[in-house]
Amino acid sequence: MAGLEGKTLERYEIRRLIGKGGMADVYEGYDLAVERTVAIKVFKREDEELLRRFIREARLMASLKHEHLVPIYDTGSGEIDGLTWYYIVMPFMEGGTLRARIRQGPLPLSEACRSLREIAAALDYIHRQGIIHRDIKSSNVLLDADGHCYLSDFGIARTTSDATQLTSTGNVLGTVEYVAPELFEGDNRANVRSDLYSLGVLLFEMVTGRLPFTAENPIAVVTMHISKPPPPPHLYAAHVSPAVEQVILKGLEKRPELRYSSASELAEAFCQAVASSSRALARGATAQQYQGWTQASTYSAGTPGTGAPQPLVLRSMGSIGTPTPPQPTSYPPPGQTNAAATVPPPLGAGYPDYGQQQHYRQYEQYGAQPGTASTRRGLFIASLALVLLLAISIPLALAFFSSPHQGTNGSPTVSSGQASGQQQTPTATPNLTATAQAQATATAEAQVQATRTAVAGATATAQAQATATAAVWQTATAGRLVYSDALTNADNPATRQANWDRSGHCLFGGDGYHVVQAVSLTTTQRICHEANYSYGNIALSVQMKILSGASGGVFIRLHPNLFSLSSGYLFEVDSQGRYRIARFDGGIEQPFADWASSPALQSGAGVANTLQIIANGSSLSFYANNVYLTTVSDNSYTDGNIGFLGTAGDNDANVVYSNLAIYALS
């Protein structure tokens, strides 16, 4: 798209880039025919399926007429420098995006009420037309010069009567921070209620200035949507009354049937709660009393009003480096933007420059401190040891004190108030030994129950993580399959077209593509790669077996040279069930962290592991056998070849790769 500024597309003068998306870019332009400033959304991909989606969006938006939907002035195509460009022309919105407005701070409740009513009216309108938006978020809401809201971007919308979907049933489209939890489970399709959940997330964001669920990777965010209650909004906006908070939390109910039935119903309930709170203040409630409303309200794990929520801090399985607590979502650097830009859903950690202190306040409010997994395991073991010690010592102590105390001469001691030599009158005492045994039994039973509870909790967490991983990987592979190869036949047309290395070190066999390296004093590693394709944002999956040698791995965004001084990113796995991620710069290795073990990896010679990578911009996420491992962020390389590694150790390396699949991220 470089170089379109200053060009003329049909009757439109393209002035400057104001927004970038995965499918199209948005420019500020000037309509020479009617002499007005406009926003021009220009398709930029060489992909027929995405072009059909772009044209479908143009037709859909042009067919809709509502005062709070972005209108379409014109659509069409034209040539610039011999290339055909498809475009959608819309009004230029001087107020930018709602996301940019929220970056300046949470909206006052009265402003949030007005904005919500306007967005809700547009959303209910498209629902009545049988259209599901599927991407309700703050960056898809435009503001005019007076701050009024307009819903935009129907790139992934669908009609309820569609016989053919843009993606197969079950694939999740949208931005992960806004997607309804039911869409990550089973084959549930987006509907009115899932759009309303996204609207509830947007309302939370408008009122608090942050999203309800944020974390360092999308799997954790998905898991939170599925299993974690949203945090009470008053933790981030102390002026929110219980009535307002109750409306917001109902909009974020996990079960679709418990949410509001329409967007306008949510908006009216919110505005009425805001009005009643304002009237209470007008009647003389002090600010301290107003803030005290929230202190009187407590929240349970599922339903408002019955306890305090506990934070769910998910950490990657065998993650590289020291785990960090989830970071709040923030936004790209501000610029002059028009919200007609489509912002692709983030697949990695949030931007770290927004709301850092807010995150630590979250831990303080919940009464939790971020810590490492090893620290928590140590505390659990110490607590268990203490319970066992008490279980043993209490019965012994009680038994000791229940026995008659002997004096120094071996005679029983005399109770005070009775003369020595006077006959003692026995008194009835409880059977302390039996009591102690009962207490010990109760303690043991409690311990067993606690263990059962802990196991059940761990099982639930593991199930949630597995569901989340499957959902994220399924979403990532919803794009076009750009290359699929069993790698078992050098004469396969797809294999020949990719132009894989073929030599004594890079061999095709009936079981896959072998990378062979002999033990040597000069080099221990061998890289075999394809030379004809350059990949940027992709989801990749390949099966690897280390038949012999120390390790194997996958290179992405690889830039080889004649001297084998390669550049790119390496996902390396050894035969002991360990992995690491590294960047290579001209043959110089820059590890992101040292080797880490993971139970997701199978160990031993000849054992297969499926290695999976999602590369989206600077975010690189790594998986093994459908289990999430870690995410790193680095923008040194944006595209390149695919390569495979073989590393010799005490014996020659022979690592075989098969069943390669590469998907373009949509």
Range in 311-320, 522-531, 624-633 the model is least confident about:
311-320
Question: What pLDDT does residue 390 have?
Answer: 52
Of 482 and 351, more confident: 482
Residue 394 near residue 439 (C-beta atoms within 8 A): yes
Amino acid at 346: P
Question: What pLDDT does residue 295 have?
Answer: 45
Of 29 and 23, more confident: 29
Residue range 523-542, pLDDT digits in tens: 678 999 999 999 999 999 99
Question: What pLDDT does residue 430 have?
Answer: 40
**pLDDT tier for residue 158 given thresholds of 50, 70 and 90:** low
**pLDDT tier for residue 448 given thresholds of 50, 70 and 90:** low
Question: What pLDDT does residue 214 have?
Answer: 87
User: Does 303 have pLDDT greater than 70?
Assistant: no
Helix (H), strand (E), coil (C) string for 113-182: HHHHHHHHHHHHHHHHCCEECCCCCHHHEEECCCCCEEECCCCCCEECCCCCCCCCCCCCCCCHHHCCHH
C-alpha distances in Å from residue 348, one per residue of 28, 236, 261, 388, 554: 29, 24, 33, 43, 19
User: Does 17 have pLDDT greater than 70?
Assistant: yes
Residue range 26-60, pLDDT digits in tens: 999 999 999 999 999 998 877 777 888 788 778 87
Active site residue 485: no
Amino acid at 581: I
Residue 412 near residue 404 (C-beta atoms within 8 A): yes
Residue range 75-96, pLDDT digits in tens: 888 999 889 999 999 999 999 9
Amino acid at 517: Q
Mean pLDDT of the chain, nearest integer: 75
Most confident stretch, 62-71, 121-130, 172-181, 516-525: 121-130
Of 434 and 556, more confident: 556
Of 137 and 300, more confident: 137
Question: What pLDDT does residue 148 have?
Answer: 96
Question: What pLDDT does residue 386 have?
Answer: 52
**Looking at the DSSP assignment, which residues form a beta bridge with residue 589?**
584
- Could you tell me which residues come within 8 angstroms of residue 63 by beta carbon, excluding any fewer than 6 positions away? none
Question: What pLDDT does residue 21 have?
Answer: 74
Most confident stretch, 44-58, 159-173, 646-660: 646-660
Of 426 and 605, more confident: 605
User: Does 327 have pLDDT greater than 70?
Assistant: no
Question: What pLDDT does residue 284 have?
Answer: 59
**pLDDT tier for residue 593 given thresholds of 50, 70 and 90:** confident
Question: What pLDDT does residue 13 have?
Answer: 95
* Angle, in degrees to the nearest 10, between helices 192-208 and 242-251: 140
User: Does 346 have pLDDT greater than 50?
Assistant: no
Residue range 252-296, pLDDT digits in tens: 999 999 999 999 999 999 999 999 888 877 665 544 454 445 444
Which candidate in 25, 31, 124, 135 is catalytic?
135
Residue range 361-390, pLDDT digits in tens: 332 232 333 334 444 444 444 454 454 455
Residue range 128-153, pLDDT digits in tens: 988 898 889 999 999 999 999 999 88
Range in 2-11, 264-273, 400-409, 607-616 the model is least confident about:
400-409
User: Does 659 have pLDDT greater than 90?
Assistant: yes
Please report, rounded to a whole number, the percentage of residues in the chain having pLDDT higher than 70.
67
Tell whether residue 41 is among the known ligand binding residues.
yes
Of 311 and 338, more confident: 338
C-alpha distances in Å from residue 473, one per residue of 49, 220, 507, 612, 664: 20, 13, 30, 9, 13
Domains, in order of start, for the chain: 8-91 (3.30.200.20), 98-163+170-366 (1.10.510.10), 481-664 (2.60.120.560)
Question: What pLDDT does residue 428 have?
Answer: 38
Question: What pLDDT does residue 178 have?
Answer: 94
Residue range 193-234, pLDDT digits in tens: 999 999 999 999 999 999 999 887 788 888 899 999 999 999
- 57-82 burial by CB neighbour count: b if 16+ within 10 A, else e? bbebbeebebebbbebbbbeebeeee
User: Does 586 have pLDDT greater than 90?
Assistant: no
pTM: 0.50
Range in 147-156, 242-251, 653-662 the model is least confident about:
147-156
**pLDDT tier for residue 488 given thresholds of 50, 70 and 90:** very high
C-alpha distances in Å from residue 540, one per residue of 197, 347, 533, 535, 607: 31, 14, 14, 10, 20
- Could you tell me which residues come within 8 angstroms of residue 158 by beta carbon, excluding any fewer than 6 positions away? 131, 132, 134, 165, 166, 190
Q: In the structure encoding, which two tokens stand for residue 401, read together?
A: 């004190």
Q: Tell how strand 641-647 and strand 525-529 pair up.
A: antiparallel
